[in-house]
Structure 1
Amino acid sequence: MTTAADVLILGGGGAGCSAALHLARRGVRVILLERGLVGSQASGVNHGGVRQQGRHPAELPLAIRGRRMWDDMAALVGTNAEFEATGHLKLARNATEEEDLLRWNAMAAEYGIVPRMIGRNAIRADHPYFSDSVIAGSLLEEDGSANPRLLTPAFAKAARAAGATLLERHPVTGMTRAGDGFVVEAGGKTFTAPILLNTAGFWGGEVAAQFGEVVPVTPLSPNMMVTEPLPLFCAHNLGVVGGDVYLRQISRGNVILGGGRGESDPAIPASRPLPAPTFSAMERAIEILPHLAGAMVIRSWTGIDGGLPDALPVMGPSHTTPGLFHAFGFSGHGFMLGPVVGAVLSELVLDGRTDVALEGFDIGRFARQDAPEADIWKTRLE
């Protein structure tokens, strides 16, 4: 039996479920296929940061539009996923890192983003819990955090209510382009549509390769943990230049922190945090927040995301296959972008254009001789 749709979506993360919702609300017949459960990989196991600060210049316009969507999230999907504009405070631990903050702030001002730079004396007065290793910070007050466990299921529920079909536990076993459309085998069934959206995370690389577009995507498993409840001390979402540790304290007092990488086997798929990077992240957290010493870590976890050499996603139309659109490889910082990525994909499909510049995400960049490598924006401000 073959089931026909207007658009097939591969991958039930934040971007895929958002695309399903936006398309369904415009009257499109949508079928989304997810190998596991919606939000069970990168979209649901991350730190929950909702930030514009520290973004690569190519990604900043997308993040700015995405941040505006978070103000209306409850109206869009029935919940704000515990989003709070707590402010994102990025810390510098030496003069070079402080220069990086100043340089990024100058670049961001061109986009209308104006963080507040905090010098050594002020950061001591405002945040007495920081150690002497913290010499400066950059606070973007409109940024914040949310609960990644809540967001994608909310988009999935809203998409289904709008008429989309979302099929979980439907691993794709085959796909091809036939005639004017695509044929996808999943869960023992056959699905067809003239449009295919590839929002499959790390596995998006396999989908792209199936249509002749090879992308150097690698599995990325961020090492995450949470402490026991502690007395409230910091309302901001905290990061550091270089991204080697990041943390936030939620209203119940628990501190959610991350740093380093776990391990994974995407073929199963399975992932797990590792002791060494977990302990290393804890040590780095204590270096900036000494009173975390002795706090009990009660749980650790990870998932599987797709990482790319320049830490920018692939997003936009295929170069080889009409009707195919990609959005994958968000390299550990795609949670807050999921809703806007889905909206942009729906615009590309139905309107043939979007108001966000996508040139920096073009899949063809990896086939050129000047294929991108890590640059200063990635290595110091990720």
Structure 2
Amino acid sequence: MNTAASARADVIIVGGGIMGCAAAFFLRRRGRSVILLERELVGRQASGANFGNVRRQGRHLHQLPLANRSREVWGRLPELIGEDVEFLPSGHIRITYDQERVGLLESYARDARDYGLELEMVSGDSMRKRFPYLGPEVRAGSLSPLDGHANPRLSAPAFCRAAARLGAQMIEHTEIALVEKEGEDFRAISTDGRVYRAPAMLITAGAWGDHLALQFGEPVPLIARGPQMGVTEPVPYGIRPVVGVSTNITEESLYYRQIPRGNIIFGGCGYGEVSTETIRAYVKPENTIRQLSQLRRLSPVLANVNLIRVWSGIESYLPDSNPVMGPSAKVPGLYYAFGFCGEGFQLGPGVGDVMAELIDTGATDVPLEHYAIGRFAAAEAILAAATSPAKAAAGTH
């Protein structure tokens, strides 16, 4: 990729995951010059280490317009970017073991219809006949027939190459030490002294997005977690939809998919430790054991399948389970898209498309008010007041 010592463009993007690479691609399609800066290789963190779910059901209802827009992009990827990222619209079934949650699934299905998402409830003999691999404890499921899965390892790099072919400068192995606004321009300064300038900046740095936002005076209560993933040996292909458990119990929150090569890819049931300083994520053996136990419970036909690999990555989470997405509350020309709480892969192409539209035109018809970074400002002010010296001196009771 391009390694220019310094450069200027219309937009600087800091962070080369699927969202940053997709934004670079769509900005170039709109005629905007772009410099994307990535500390390592594009798609190496959450964008490449996630499960690969391309699902819409189960999201906050207000997130469905964004998810729907992204699903449209997923369906056109080969013609858009000229590459196959193994997107398979296999369907997604969200099951529950709890009879009380059946009603929640039914209610969600009714509400989602208003947002253009059609879901089918399945249960009883019909469910057993259509999905014979589901275990006897499964009470019912919600089927989203047009959702599916894709290969995370391929997706961000494919968008990166497509953006580069359109003329974007996609610069890897460039760690940013400082971001700031100087006059009309933003500056991104790398640790080795290279300087990049643009009148607009988009921060798509995942679990490191809060560090960059803080440099603009916009703190975010972000925490980093490590998803726990595994893959089995290949077995005969027969489970087409992605399968996930709807539950309030973390230990049983398994999800899995089978790829046409036969391997079962699974995740869930808890998180591992991560370090954003050393850029390391860890798999806990006890989590893997729990996942295999839940896999047997969810689909007993997979009870004897052999595990061949486990992995993790670094994902970013926020207290309200919503991302930071949209313009800065303080700095004109600054935009954010990070903190997608482990649900950003499906949204990635749509986020890139929407952010390119917003930066280019100043508006988008996709509702973003739930994701405004300013929502944390009030909580920050309350915390500051509660921990001020005067407050501390007054004591507590």
Structure 2 residue 102 is the aligned partner of structure 1 residue 98: yes
Question: Match for 1:363 among 373, 382, 396?
Answer: 373
Question: Match for 1:250 among 248, 259, 277?
Answer: 259
CA contact (8 A) 1:220 1:331 kept: no
CA contact (8 A) 1:33 1:186 kept: no
Task: Calculate percent identity across the aligned residue pairs.
Answer: 44
Give the TM-score normalised by structure 2: 0.91
In the other structure, the counterpart of 2:35 is 31
> Which digits, 9 at most, give the CA deviation of each residue in 1:298-348, with x for residues without a partner?
001111111111211110000011111000001111001111111111111
> Which digits, 9 at most, give the CA deviation of each residue in 1:185-235, with x for residues without a partner?
115211111111000001011111111111111002110000011122311
In the other structure, the counterpart of 2:303 is 293
In the other structure, the counterpart of 2:91 is 87
CA contact (8 A) 2:91 2:242 kept: yes
**Relative to structure 1, is the Cα distance of residues 370 and 165 closer, same or farther in structure 2, using a 3 angstrom cutoff?**
closer
**SS, match of residue 346 in structure 2:** coil
1:145 positional shift:
0.6
Alpha-carbon distance between aligned partners in 2 of 1:369 and 1:194, rounded to the nearest angstrom: 30
AA aligned to 1:253 is G
1:2 positional shift:
4.1
In the other structure, the counterpart of 2:123 is 119
Alpha-carbon distance between aligned partners in 2 of 1:232 and 1:23, rounded to the nearest angstrom: 39
Alpha-carbon distance between aligned partners in 2 of 1:349 and 1:169, rounded to the nearest angstrom: 26
In the other structure, the counterpart of 2:225 is 220
Which residues in structure 2 correspond to 1:266-285 (within 5 Å)?
266-285=276-295
CA contact (8 A) 2:323 2:339 kept: yes
Alpha-carbon distance between aligned partners in 2 of 1:332 and 1:190, rounded to the nearest angstrom: 32
1:369 positional shift:
4.9
Please tell me the root mean square deviation across aligned C-alpha atoms, in Å. 1.5
**Relative to structure 1, is the Cα distance of residues 2 and 129 closer, same or farther in structure 2, using a 3 angstrom cutoff?**
closer
> Which digits, 9 at most, give the CA deviation of each residue in 1:36-60, with x for residues without a partner?
1000011111111111111111211
Alpha-carbon distance between aligned partners in 2 of 1:56 and 1:121, rounded to the nearest angstrom: 30
Q: What stretches of structure 1 of length at least 5 have no aligned partner? A: 372-382
Alpha-carbon distance between aligned partners in 2 of 1:294 and 1:54, rounded to the nearest angstrom: 30
In the other structure, the counterpart of 1:206 is 211
The alignment of Structure 1 onto Structure 2 pairs a total of residues equal to 371
CA contact (8 A) 2:95 2:141 kept: yes
AA aligned to 1:119 is S
Give the TM-score normalised by structure 1: 0.94
CA contact (8 A) 1:100 1:241 kept: no
Alpha-carbon distance between aligned partners in 2 of 1:232 and 1:154, rounded to the nearest angstrom: 26
Structure 2 residue 75 is the aligned partner of structure 1 residue 66: no
Alpha-carbon distance between aligned partners in 2 of 1:3 and 1:110, rounded to the nearest angstrom: 46
Which residues in structure 2 correspond to 1:141-160 (within 5 Å)?
141-160=145-164
In the other structure, the counterpart of 1:376 is none
In the other structure, the counterpart of 1:306 is 316
CA contact (8 A) 2:61 2:115 kept: no
Alpha-carbon distance between aligned partners in 1 of 2:61 and 2:30, rounded to the nearest angstrom: 31
In the other structure, the counterpart of 1:378 is none
CA contact (8 A) 2:325 2:337 kept: yes
**SS, match of residue 344 in structure 1:** helix
CA contact (8 A) 1:88 1:237 kept: yes
CA contact (8 A) 1:348 1:354 kept: yes
In the other structure, the counterpart of 1:374 is none
In the other structure, the counterpart of 1:349 is 359
Q: What stretches of structure 2 of length at least 5 have no aligned partner? A: 382-397
CA contact (8 A) 1:183 1:190 kept: yes
**SS, match of residue 116 in structure 2:** coil
Alpha-carbon distance between aligned partners in 2 of 1:369 and 1:172, rounded to the nearest angstrom: 28
AA aligned to 1:306 is S
**SS, match of residue 58 in structure 1:** helix
AA aligned to 1:254 is N
In the other structure, the counterpart of 2:10 is 6
Alpha-carbon distance between aligned partners in 2 of 1:234 and 1:97, rounded to the nearest angstrom: 24
Q: Which moved more, 1:200-209 or 1:241-250?
A: 241-250
More helix by share: 2
Q: Which moved more, 1:135-144 or 1:118-127?
A: 118-127
1:245 positional shift:
0.7
Q: Which moved more, 1:285-294 or 1:248-257?
A: 285-294
AA aligned to 1:337 is L
Alpha-carbon distance between aligned partners in 2 of 1:23 and 1:129, rounded to the nearest angstrom: 44
In the other structure, the counterpart of 2:135 is 131
In the other structure, the counterpart of 1:229 is 234
